[in-house]
Chain A
């Protein structure tokens, strides 16, 4: 027998027994530097929630400026000091807020908060492992994320302000301190923070992949895994292959900023002064950035797709429709993700032939995406649907993914994109399809697995109000932006009332801003519900949703090691719902002789 068994037995069995026999682990090793995947998942989740509040609050502040450009809000001056003199944020601060909003939500919330939480929590529990392949690396993954968070928070408080060149940090704006106040030192903090973040996500990602491939319990073949695991598996692969490329771009940018190199700079005149930099190319940075940046949107959406597939099947009391097609479409999306990055760069003057190739590859993504959507709808079709909060959120995900995905077909065409580029149409598109949709995947996941995480249930009434207000609010916010974008309203402007052609959208902007404030306040229902339920929620039962997967075979509050006795053996796939007159059959139930043939 090879090394694995000895390692597994000694390391994991040992920690498991240690937990069982003496319960007095120190506070630090149990809650702070924990190597238990479940605790690490909760650390990711709670850090993610804190970041989400900060990121969303920033959007409220800049929406106040966009909706009410002529008004002043004295509380802003109390909060931000000289950045909001007289209660009106400065243009520089507006750009800093927009940049930080994007950075925080894309990286810290929807990457770390989403796949960090669910990959850590669900992979060992759903494949039947005691912990990750390397619990130590897993712990380091969280602490690198924590360090990245601290650096980013510090950058908010430096005198010249945080990075403000947009979350895509295009040079030369990001490369030259002369270009904007945020580029003086804020940008260096940004780059260091994202460097740490990339290390965190790589450490996490390689652990997820190797755990899924190596530590599955007996009988858990790859094609018996729940689709959540498949989604997280492809997410991890995308991260491992694309984040290093951003790291190389970030390093080159750091060199340009601090060591006088000219990778991305050439022929630049700032305030009448000619800079010495020669021979660089800012477009090169865009290539390096979007080689990560595009897979990144799938890193955000694939976990949400996996979670949705699982929750839709459970709450329709039906097997997921087209299980193999779901895996195939994950694979197709994952492959295409690496071949479409230049569709973010149609206006960089690229060769039209090259542009046409990227249009074709981009539109091809519609095929696996549509396969998924139709499979979800067919899973719902004639199901015995139970509208649990998680289910409503998952249906919300499907709705948002369709609405946002359809406009992807518009902007994937170079001919249309050249007109729509950098308008509010783009904002509407990506917020619906990856921003809000991924959030709904995350909400669905939290509402669904909360009983497993904390042994208690969340309050349903608060959950319904939260989900419905957020869903309707999301549409009210982003639907009108399609029209303002088609009318040519560009993104990232500080004050649209300065332009005759955009003045007419003043009322619309005001309306959007009011909805943003309402949706923001509604999120506190979720947060209150979440934290209240951790301590005071109704006690959960072992399998509250009647699901078939392995995590529901553990005790209500599983210890480190997950199963008190042996790891259960798996005999069937995860989707035996309403089969042979039974509501559901656990994966651990052996296949009976009389049973209908299936997975």
Chain B
């Protein structure tokens, strides 16, 4: 068994591979939404809108959180657990700040009269940004689990795989947000 398993293809951890494929499929979902947006924009009755400033602040939050995630992973691999604990909490907090800012952004839009069903362009904004925020929320749950585990006295798990998986996913939602932001700035 051992020898056979060792001969099995082992370039990449199967969980990581699964995550990459899942990311491919999430990309397709957002590709579907943004291409629907492009198609719609080229048709009559499209109304322009202003992105709320909160979305820019949230961008800063999620970019910094990506950096802290990189550092957290490095700390974990270097077995600097105190430092890892701090960094993973920082990432988690920044993630929560991001979602809160998105919600504030929507409240801002709502107050300006741009409700989710006011015009198609804004409806798209709600759906796309809202869907992204849901994906971030999923990442927050993963980070929360890591953060709690890092506090646990009993936990003696030195496998870095869960940290790496959370990291990959977190960078993905970060990049996805940057793409969506640029997309909505460029194509309006």
Contacts and interface: CB of A to CB of B under 8 A. Distances in A.
A546 interface: no
B49 interface: no
A567 B4 contact: yes
Contacts of B5: 4-5, 8-9, 13, 567
Contacts, number: 160
B15 A134 contact: yes
A2 B21 CA distance: 20
Contacts of A557: none
A134 B21 CA distance: 13
A248 B1 CA distance: 44
A157 B86 CA distance: 53
Interface string B10-30: 111111011001101110111
A207 B127 contact: no
A214 B11 CA distance: 8
B120 A243 contact: no
A469 B43 CA distance: 52
Q: Which of A8, A210, A216, A242 has the most CB of B within 10 A?
A: A210
Interface residues of A, number: 57
B187 interface: no
Interface in A100-159: 128-129, 133-134, 137
Interface in B38-57: 39-40, 43, 45-47
B13 A7 contact: yes
Given A209-B21, A287-B36, A566-B3, A3 B13 contact: yes
Contacts of A279: 45-47, 119-120
Interface stretch (A56-64, A178-186, A257-265, A522-530): A257-265
B4 to A, nearest CB: 4
A261 B126 CA distance: 10
B161 interface: yes
B157 interface: no
Secondary structure of the A side of the interface?
helix
B183 to A, nearest CB: 15
B9 interface: yes
A170 to B, nearest CB: 15
Given A9-B2, A240-B21, A214 B9 contact: yes
B8 A134 contact: no
B29 A261 contact: no
Contact of B8 (A214, A242, A249, A278): A214
B116 A261 contact: yes
Q: Which of B8, B29, B40, B126 has the most CB of A within 10 A?
A: B8
B9 A259 contact: no
A200 to B, nearest CB: 13
Interface in A181-233: 202, 205-207, 209-211, 213-218
A281 B40 contact: yes
Contact of A262 (B11, B14, B123): B123
Nearest to A267: B45
A210 B36 contact: no
B150 to A, nearest CB: 20
A211 B21 CA distance: 12
Interface string A273-290: 000001111001001100
Contact of B24 (A1, A240, A291): A240
A259 B7 contact: no
Nearest to A242: B28
B29 to A, nearest CB: 4
A4 B8 contact: yes
B154 to A, nearest CB: 19
Contacts of A213: 9, 17
Contact of B28 (A207, A245, A280, A565): A245
B39 A284 contact: yes
Q: Which of A13, A206, A242, A288 has the most CB of B within 10 A?
A: A206
Contacts of A291: 32
B82 interface: no
A569 interface: yes
Nearest to A17: B1
A9 B30 CA distance: 37
B18 A133 contact: yes
Interface in A442-475: none
A217 B8 contact: yes
A134 B18 contact: yes
A377 interface: no
A205 B28 CA distance: 14
Contact of B32 (A217, A245, A281): A245
A213 B11 CA distance: 10
Contacts of A288: 32, 36
Contacts of A263: 36, 40, 120, 123-124
Given A215-B14, A241-B25, 11 more contacts: A3-B10, A4-B5, A4-B9, A5-B2, A9-B5, A133-B15, A133-B18, A261-B116, A281-B43, A284-B40, A567-B4
30 contacts: A3-B13, A4-B10, A5-B5, A134-B14, A134-B15, A202-B25, A206-B21, A207-B18, A210-B18, A210-B21, A214-B10, A214-B11, A218-B3, A218-B7, A241-B28, A243-B25, A244-B25, A244-B28, A245-B29, A245-B32, A248-B32, A248-B33, A251-B131, A252-B36, A261-B120, A261-B126, A263-B40, A263-B124, A284-B40, A569-B7
10 closest A-B pairs by beta carbon, nearest first, are: A244-B29, A245-B32, A4-B10, A133-B14, A218-B7, A248-B32, A279-B45, A260-B117, A206-B21, A261-B123
Interface of A: 1-5, 7-9, 13, 128-129, 133-134, 137, 202, 205-207, 209-211, 213-218, 240-245, 247-249, 251-252, 255, 259-263, 266, 278-281, 284, 287-288, 291, 565-567, 569
